[in-house]
Amino acid sequence: MSAIARWLDSDVAYSFRRSPVALMAALVLAIILAGAVLAPWIAPHNPLDLASLNLMDSRIPPVWDAEGQRSFPLGTDDQGRDILSGIMYGVRISLVIGVASVIFAIVAGIAVGLLAGYAGGVLDAVLMRVADIQLTFPAILIALLVDGVVTAALPQEMHERLKTQVLIFSIGISFWPQFARTVRGSTLVERGREYVMAARVIGLSSGRIMLTHILPNVLGPVFVIGTLTLGLAILSEATLSFLGVGLPPSSPSVGTLIRIGNDFLFSGEWWMTIFPGLTLVLLVLSINLLGDWLRDALNPKLR
């Protein structure tokens, strides 16, 4: 049986096929993802090419409006940037930052969790207290703080160039405690199991035991939390960009687009902020619904 056939036959796949919510969410997510990934080939304009922008095309309403133009299906913003293309490229950036910061949080969380759970004692106590303290702050505050400190520490001319990395770091660092807590808990359980004892008896190093023996057995919950955190991370990026400390208008993420459009809400040019906002809602909602479904599907008690 091939791997695909085996997966299609699995419990998880079965529950996926039976869940209309999961199917819908996957469909929406697939459409958004396809738009984002294929943006350079299918987007009507390239919003990153400043030379292609024409100020006289600015503030054109969506195509169904009487003043709309067919070349700008969802209208244009105040600089003449096509909203649809802006969203497609923006989702790309939002997703890259979201996924990268979650991976950062997972790697950091797993490292700390494994270490704390396996070593125990003082190290465990210290690491977990740090995690506890951080958990008492809302993640967005931590991200704001880290973003501000790191940006201030960098020389000015590097700000724009390193903004993506700074964002990934600050969002990633705000989400590691969840992962560390979960991994530590599972590690404590696994540490006492016979196979770990056996590995220790044959003289394997601690690092090897942690990475090749314990780690595979504690990953399950990490994936579920990872999926749910992805939605939060994308939201964090959007919030930071909306507050003006995220990505600059020259490489706009969805949050930046919402911020730019927000200044034109009162003047009736609603499309500049509504469409990116709607996209963000759909993106995060579908990721969260999939995450919820995954949690239920992987929970043996709910089967």
Partner 1 sequence: MSCDKGCVCYRHCYNEWGVLEMLRSVLAASLFSVGLGAALPASAATFRWANDGDANSMDPYTRNETFLLSFAQNIYDPLVRRNRELKVEPALAMSWEQPDPLTWRFHLRPDVKFHGGEAFTADDVVFSYQRATGPGSQINSNFSTVKEVKRVDDLTVDFITKAPNPILLQELTQWGIMSKAWCEAHNATQPADLTKVKEENFATRNANGTGPFILGTREPDRRTTLRNNPAWWDKPEHNLTEVTFNVISSANTRVAALLSGDVDMIYTVPPQDMDRIGHTQGLKLAVGPELRTIFFGFDQSRPELLKSDVKGKNPFQDIRVRQAFNMAVDAKAIQSRVMRNQSHPTGLMYGPGVNGYTEASDVRHKYDPDAAKKLLAEAGYPNGFGVTLDCPNDRYINDEAICQAVTNMLARIGMKITLNAQTRLQYFAQISNPGYNTSFYMLGWTPTTYDALNSFFNLAGTRNGVRGVFNDGGWSNKEFDDTLDQMAVETDAARRQQQIERASKIIHDEAAFIPLHQQTVVWAYRSNVELQQMADNWFPLRYVTVK
Q: Which amino acid is at 71?
A: S
What residues pair up with 76 in beta bridges, in sequence order? 82
CB of 108: closest distance to partner 1 in angstroms?
32
Site residues (CB under 8 A) for partner 1?
A: 49-51, 53, 55-56, 58-59, 78-80, 156-157, 160, 248-250, 262-269
Given the complex with partner 1, which of 220 and 248 has the nearer CB atom?
248
CB of 51: closest distance to partner 1 in angstroms?
4
Q: CA 294: distance to chain centroid?
A: 16
Given the complex with partner 1, which of 223 and 270 has the nearer CB atom?
270
The DSSP-derived string for 109-170 is HHHHHHHHHHH-HHHHHHHHHHHHHHHTS-HHHHHHHHHHHHHHHS-GGGTTTTHHHHHHHH
Given the complex with partner 1, which of 226 and 246 has the nearer CB atom?
246
Phi, psi at 120, each rounded to 5°: 65, -165
CB of 148: closest distance to partner 1 in angstroms?
14
Given the complex with partner 1, which of 11 and 160 has the nearer CB atom?
160
Given the complex with partner 1, which of 220 and 244 has the nearer CB atom?
244
CB of 50: closest distance to partner 1 in angstroms?
4
Nearest to 60 by CA among 38, 37, 86, 34: 86
Measured distance CA(91)–CA(237) in Å, rounded:
11
Given the complex with partner 1, which of 64 and 266 has the nearer CB atom?
266
The sign of the torsion formed by the CA atoms of 129, 131, 135, 139 equals positive
Asked whether the beta carbons of 245 and 148 are under 8 A apart, the reply is: yes
Phi, psi at 76, each rounded to 5°: -130, 165
Measured distance CA(177)–CA(180) in Å, rounded:
5
Given the complex with partner 1, which of 58 and 134 has the nearer CB atom?
58
Q: For residue 62, how many other CB atoms are within 10 A of its CB?
A: 19
Q: For residue 65, how many other CB atoms are within 10 A of its CB?
A: 11
Reported residue count of the chain is 303
